[in-house]
Structure formats: C-alpha cells, structure tokens
Amino acid sequence: MGISIDRSLRLRDRGISMWNTLDSQARIYGLSHEVILQETDKIRNAIAIAPHWVKSYVDGYAMALRNAWYHQHLIWCHVAPDGTRYTAHKNRPVWAEDSDPLYKAGRGGEIAVWKHAHFWPNGKAFVEPKAFK
C-alpha cells in the first residue's frame, strides 16, 4: 500500500515550497546552472517517496519556473575577447548591424575567440561562457 493522500499533498507542498525558495535565490543571487542542478537533486530527494503524480506535479511547476527564467530574467549575451558583453535583449542596449563587432567578426574575422552564455541581470553567468565552434 502506498502513502496516504495527506502525506502525498504535504510532499507536493514541500517540493513547491523548495522550488519557490530556489527561484527566489536564483534571481536574487544569480545562481549558476551547477548550483541549481545540485538544489534540484535535493528537491527530488526530498520528495523521493512521493507517488508519481506528485513528482510530475512538482516537475511541471519547476519547468514553468525555469521557462520564466529564460523568458523574463536570463539575458543571452555574446562575450568579446576583451570581456565586453553584447546583447539584443529587449531591455538592454541594441546595436546596429553594421557596428556590431560580432557581425563584423562573422564576415571574415576570427569568430572562435568570441563566447556566448546566458547571464542574470546582476551580471553573474548562468553558465560559463563557451566559445563558438
């Protein structure tokens, strides 16, 4: 016999609460992808004995939060060799194509030295910038 519905609902609520805490910390402190993965494992371990429907509910909630990060909080940037970040994010300065260093680099310049990554608005990298291949 499985666990009671009351226990299942408490586990669901605990998982949601843990995700809300992680969401808040991620946006305030600019947590890296690695830290978020570690915290995700802790959340999954906390609800490990829950029925499948509880785990699915919490996973769906987490997916909605992560989607919100990408749509509302994380900023896609190109990083020049000197560390300058360029982005076309709607809330950030936009450059004209003819003055865009990345555009010029792609027209015969060495693009392999450029990197790209998602950044939090506070400037911390979500993942370490990777070079274009």
Instruction: Please choose, from the candidates 65, 90, 66, 89, the residue with its C-alpha nearest in 3D space to the C-alpha of residue 76.
Output: 89
Q: Decide: residue 36, CB within 10 A, 0-12 exposed, 13-18 middle, 19+ buried.
A: middle
Q: How many helices (H) and strands (E) does the chain have?
A: 4, 4
The encoded tokens of residue 79 equal 């990083």
Q: Are residues 13 and 60 in the same domain?
A: yes
Helix-strand-coil percent breakdown of the chain, rounded to 5?
Answer: 55, 10, 35
Amino acid sitting at position 60: G
| pLDDT confidence of residue 68 | 93
Q: Are residues 57 and 25 in the same domain?
A: yes
Domain count, the chain: 2
Q: Where are the beta strands (DSSP E) in the chain?
A: 75-79, 85-86, 115-119, 130-131
| pLDDT confidence of residue 43 | 97
Q: Are residues 65 and 91 in the same domain?
A: no
Give the predicted TM-score (pTM) of the model. 0.74
Q: Are residues 87 and 68 in the same domain?
A: no
Task: Kindly list the averaged pLDDT for each block of 10 residues, start to end, along the chain of length 133.
Answer: 90 97 92 90 96 97 94 79 67 47 51 67 72 56
Q: Are residues 62 and 91 in the same domain?
A: no
Instruction: Please choose, from the candidates 18, 106, 102, the residue with its C-alpha nearest in 3D space to the C-alpha of residue 54.
Output: 18
| pLDDT confidence of residue 62 | 97
Q: Find the domain containing 26 and state its range.
A: 5-73
